[in-house]
Amino acid sequence: MTSLPVLQVRAALLAWFDAHARDLPWRAGAEGRRDPYRVWVSEILLQQTQVARGLTYYDRFLAAFPTVQALAAAPEADVLKAWEGCGYYARARNLHRAAKEVAERGFPAAYAGWLALPGVGPYTAAAVSSLTLGEARAVNDGNVRRVLARLWAEKTPTDAWVQARADEVLDPARPGAWNEAVMDLGATVCTPRAPRCPECPLAAHCAAFGSGQPTAYPAPKLRAKVREVEGVALLIGDARAAVLERREGSLLGGLMGLPTEERREDEALQDALSRLAARMGAQVGEPLGTVTHGMTHRRMTLHVYAATAPHAPQSVSVSAAALSRLDRKALALLEAREGSLFAPT
């Protein structure tokens, strides 16, 4: 493994960061003494969300729940509504559970305490403890992996390799700033497909840059195959008030959505529609259209039909319910036909 002049690398990157750090709302406050609640919310939210989009969600969530006590006291339905559009709703449910623990016992005083909270893994615990407590914990995420793999020209870095290198170069005097500097570098300069190497403060030390093929490092990860799922949904009501059911499962559990049935393997779509209509006691009307949406390693194609059901549960306000993007897309089909006031996201 090529040795790295660690002290020079630290000095160069931190000097760059001090001049070019992104101005983000959760970065307010002195190094190592930031508001743990705001940093924690931002880290959970940005796990699966790009910063540009995450800013809107962050502001909305903090407006609804400005303190950990407010979040802990809120009903889960309100938390999911404030999280709407962010996806990966298990994050919101775990954040809510953890907030109840923190409101009762106080914020953790070290990495181990953060790691013990629901939904907090090694990355989040390292980020929050370094940024709010000044604890020397190195983060390991996609940006860190790419930056370090290029510094050492490592094509297939394992998680253990990345963590070892991150621990090696971490600046113990400014651990939070160092972690943010590596992530900012990966997000703005050392990007996956078009790295801006001439602007990089670490170019002189980067083995991948020296090779002339920086984008060859790291080699692309093998992606899990996307599972195609097809189903039917009934819109009983309209785009302002409709019959909704509570979703189950890890992806969308706790959200509300249109009554839906997935098509079983080797089953005709009409059979799934008949099964759904029987379950809801519904009379199926005209097809409204088809929507698709990707969720983690599955892509759902949903065929949406208008329906009436005299004995179905009472319609509820669509605007007040926490819905997935898939359901928002489905409801927008009716808006397109009727020109209703409902605004899809």
Distance CA 193, CA 142 (A): 14
| Residue 230 a catalytic site member | no
Q: Which two tokens stand for residue 296?
A: 């983690």
CB 13 within 8 A of CB 202: yes
Spatial separation of the C-alpha atoms in residues 313 and 236, rounded to whole Å = 10
- Tracing tokens 């008030």 back to the chain, one arrives at 241
**Tokens representing residue 170 in the block:** 């971490």
The distance from CA 236 to its chain's CA centroid, rounded to whole angstroms, is 31
Structure tokens at 311: 């004995």
d(CA 321, CA 246): 10
Query: Would you put residue 173 in left (φ > 0), alpha (ψ -120 to 50) or beta?
Result: alpha
Cβ–Cβ under 8 Å, residues 214 and 197: yes
- Go through 195-212 and write b for each residue having 16 or more CB atoms within 10 A of its CB, e for each that does not: bebeebbbbebbbbbeee
Cβ-Cβ contacts under 8 Å for 221 (sequence gap 6 or more): none
**Under 8 Å CB-to-CB from 104, ≥6 apart: which residues?**
72
Chain-centroid distance, C-alpha 43: 9
Look at residue 241 and give its three-state secondary structure.
strand
Give the separation between CA 62 and CA 140, rounded to whole angstroms.
26
- Could you say which of 31, 43, 84, 230 is catalytic? 43
- Pull the structure tokens for residue 63: 């407006």
CA distances to 12, 13, 72, 241, 277 from 75, rounded to whole Å, are: 47, 43, 8, 22, 32
Q: What residues are labeled active site?
A: 43
